[in-house]
Amino acid sequence: MRLSTPQWLNAETWHLPLPTDEQLQERSCGVHRGSIEDVDAEFPELVPHILEAIASYRLDDYEYDVKVHMLFKGMYPCIPNWHCDNVPRPGGSLDYSAINRSTPPMLLWVSGAPTTRFLFHEEALAHYPVSHGHLDEIIRLGDFPSFSIKPKSWYAMWQDTPHRGTAATESGWRIFIRATPKEIASERHVVSKTRRHSQVYLPHDFHW
């Protein structure tokens, strides 16, 4: 199996306005698999600016996840282990061999640190990982070089593009946006497109 690297999209947004910290605190904690209209309803600052930067993609063919993170030093706002997003689950179980590399990419953007880490080079594996944990073990044992993406920049990634979150180094607010092609999105029913709960990623040995 080939592990791919992300593609920088030359769609920089560092010059564009973002919701203020105060606006973020007034809103929900994000959008869960919503449409462009759902993002616009919840975060009207993001659609005409940030999402317009990727308008060369067919935005109606995508669904959108937005997550607003209140950061805490030393904590992870996202999954800290190497994994790939939206790996197919035919029959309900994860199957890296079922990835179709010809699908359109997922599009990723984060407003600031801590940003996501990706492999620096494409890597070839002799076998398919049997789980995300197995992939994490392979990448750690292989000591593959990696890098952190730039904030306020759009990147393309695929179902075979491993990545991991990094820990916050200071308190603050961070916005995460991921656009997922509908053709690879989960078949699970969306209960609420307004994100009403936060996922939590704490180290197992965390203590106050």
Contact (CB, 8 A) for 99 and 87: yes
Length of the chain, please? 208
Q: Is 85 in the site for Fe ion (CB under 5 A)?
A: yes
- Please name the residues in contact with 27: beta carbons below 8 A apart, sequence gap of 6 or more: 19, 42, 43, 68
Q: Does 45 bind Fe ion (CB under 5 A)?
A: no
Q: Closest approach of Cβ 22 to Fe ion, in Å?
A: 29
Per CB under 5 A, 132 contacts Fe ion: no
Number of residues that bind Fe ion (CB under 5 A): 1
Q: Which helix (H) or strand (E) segment is 153 a member of?
A: strand 153-157
Residue number with CB closer to Fe ion (49 or 104)? 104
Give least dist CB 155 to Fe ion, A: 12
Candidate segments 4-12, 14-22, 77-85, 138-146, binder of Fe ion by CB under 5 A = 77-85
Residue nearest to Fe ion according to CB distances in the complex: 85
- 38 with 28: CB under 8 angstroms? no
> Measured from the CB atom, is 40 or 137 closer to Fe ion?
137
Backbone CA torsion sign across 156, 130, 82, 88 = positive
Q: Least distance (Å) from Fe ion to the CB of residue 176?
A: 10
Residue for token pair 């975060």: 43
Site residues (vs Fe ion, CB under 5 A):
85
